[in-house]
Structure 1
C-alpha cells in the first residue's frame, strides 16, 4: 500500500482491479479506514469492470494526522480537496465516486467543488448538512459518545458494541466478525483524536443543499430505512436536492454495509455508473 502526496499531505491508498478499467473511488466515513471497505465488496465492484481506488482520509488510518492542530483545523471541503488531489496524483481524469456516511458528505462536496473530476456520484447512508434531517437516535448518539477505553481489549469490545447498536437489525453481523474487524482497525492505526477532528469538520461545514442543486452527474442515493445514526431523512433530502437523483431505500438496513446486501448495492452502483454513457 503506497502513499501519495496530495493537497500537501500524505494519503495512504490501495487499488483493486484492472487499471485499464474505469476508475471508481471509494470514500469512507468518520474515523474509518480503507480496510472498512470489505475486500470482497471491492472485488465485487472490480468484477463489474471498475478499477477500485480506496484510501485513508486525513486523520484516519495511515494518512497524515493533524495532531496538535487547532480544534477545527479543516472542513469537509478540505477533505474533498484531498480527494481531488489524490485522483490527480494518480493520473485519473475522471472517476465514479462512492462515499459512505462522512464519506458521502465528502463525495458530495467533491462533486460540488470539482465537478470535472466526477463521472457519477453515489452517496450511501449520508446526509446534506441540513441539521433538520439525518439525525441520530438517542441510543446511537450515546453509543458514539461512550467514555473512552484505555486497553486494547476494552477498545475492541467498545467498537464492536457500537457497531452492534448502529448496524442493520435485519442483517446482524456476528460478534466474532465485529470483534475481528475492530481488532484489525485498532492494530493498523488508532487515532481517536483524529476522529474528533473529523467530527468537528462535519459540524463546522455548511449545508450542501444549495450546491447539490447544481449537480448534473448521474446520482444514486442509498440509505437504510432502519439507520439509527443518520436517519433515512438524510438520504431522502440528498436525493431531493440533486436533480434527477435516484433513491434506493433498503428495508432492514442500518448504518453499515451488511454482506447479504452487497450484491444489491454493487448492482445499484454499477447501474448508476452506466448512466454516464
Structure 2
C-alpha cells in the first residue's frame, strides 16, 4: 500500500465495518511482534485491527544507502542543544501511519503504539488529532533526559549486532535480546520464542533499518512540551519490571498528557507475553470503547 509516498506493508484483521485500531510497533521490530493472540483478542472485542511494518523494517520501504549519523555524534549534539540531521524523524513515521489510514479510506482510528511505536503514536495524536479517536501508549516514554536510562545489559543487547548473518546466529541473537528485555514475571516458553524468532528472521532481516530508527529517536529529544498539547483521550500501559524503558517513562508520559490514565503491571517487562494478552486487550478495548467518538 502506498502511504505518505512510500510503500507500507500492512495486515488487517476483523470486520471492516468495526471501529479501527492502528497498531504501531517499535524500534527495529516487524508488525509480527504484535502477537497474533493479541490481534485476535482485539478483533473479538469488536474492532478492525490494522498492524503494519514501519518504514525501513519488515516488508515496508527501505531507505537503502541513506546514512544516519553515529550514536556518539548524535548524543553530543543533543547535549549541547543541537538537533542532529537524520534521514527521517518520528514525526515522519507518524505521517506514515496517517497516510496508511488515508489510503485505506479510514477517517479516524484508535492509535496504539509500543516502545518507539508509542513515541510515534504520541506524534500521531499531536499532528493528526482529527484522525485519532484515542491514544494508547505502551511501555514508551517522553524523552525526558532526567528519567532513568535502560539497564546496561538491556541497552547492550539492543545495540549489539550478531556476529554473522547465518540464520542460526540471527535466531540465537534474537532469543538473547528477547530474554534480556522480556518480562521476568512472564518468561516466554523456549519453543514459542524460538519459533517466533526464526519466523521473524525468515520474514525479513535488515540491520540498516534499526540504525536509522535509533537516529530518529535520539534526534526527537524531549517531547513533554508536545505531550502537554495532546487532547486525545490517552491510556498509558507499562510494566513495573521493564529493563529497557523503566516504568518511570510511562509515569512521566501519563503525567505529561492532560487526563491520561496509567495502568502498570508487576512482573511485566519490555515485551507482550502471552499470559498478559487478555489483560492488555481488555484495557485497550475498554479505553477505545469509552472513547468511540
TM-score (norm 1): 0.97
Q: Which residue in the other structure is 2:36 paired with?
A: 39
Matches of 1:147 and 1:220, distance apart in 2: 34
* Residues 37, 274 of structure 2: 8 Å contact kept: no
Greater shift in the superposed pair: 40-49 or 199-208: 199-208
Q: Where does structure 2 lack aligned partners over 5 or more consecutive residues?
A: 69-85
Write the deviation string for residues 37-74 of structure 1: whole angstroms up to 9, x where unpaired.
11111010001010001100000100000110131200
Partner of 1:30: 27
Pairs aligned (count): 274
**TM-score (normalised: structure 2):** 0.91
Q: Secondary structure at the match of 2:8?
A: strand
SS in structure 2 of the partner of residue 66 of structure 1: coil
- The farther-off stretch of 128-137 and 83-92 is 128-137
| 1:224 matched residue in structure 2 | 239
Structure 1, 178-187 or 50-59: larger mean CA deviation: 178-187
Change (3 A) 1:147 1:94: closer
CA contact (8 A) 1:136 1:229 kept: yes
Q: CA deviation at 1:147?
A: 4.0
Q: Deviations over 1:178-210 (max 9, x none)?
A: 111111111001011101111111011132211
Over the aligned positions, Cα root-mean-square deviation in angstroms equals: 1.0
- Name which of 244, 262, 266 aligns with 2:277: 262
Alignment partners' CA distance in 1, 2:87 and 2:154: 26
* Partner secondary structure for residue 223 of structure 1: strand
Gap regions ≥5 residues in structure 1: none
Matched, 1:168 2:183: yes
- Name 2:83's counterpart in structure 1: none
Whether the 8 Å contact between 1:102 and 1:126 is mirrored in structure 2 is yes
Counterpart of 1:82 in structure 2 is: 96
1:94 equivalent in structure 2: 108
Residue 247 of structure 1: CA displacement?
Answer: 0.3
